[in-house]
Amino acid sequence: MRRGRNDLLDADARALLDREIDDLLLRVRGLALVRDILVERGASGVEIAEHGLELERGRARLAELIRGPGGTAATALDRAA
């Protein structure tokens, strides 16, 4: 079967999206680990809160990417299949 141009663009877009999701997952994990270390070491509440806010922004962006334009996780999973 021959693939059309849109199929190739979709595959490229999916690859870029997968890379962005991987990068965000790594960043969110790192922020969570650093936040926990800051708590253990007695960092100021401001420092901990800043990491927490950045962590929440990363989680929100990750959820947005996974949901996709359809708005639900189920539609994103259907598209990925």
pLDDT by residue (tens digit) across 30-68?
999 999 999 999 999 999 999 999 999 999 999 998 887
56: its two tokens: 């929440």
Question: Whole domain around residue 41: which residue ranges?
Answer: 5-80
pTM above 0.85, yes or no: no
Domain count, the chain: 1
What's the pLDDT score for residue 13? 64
Contacts 24+ apart (CB under 8 A), 60-63: 61/24, 62/21, 62/24, 62/25, 62/28
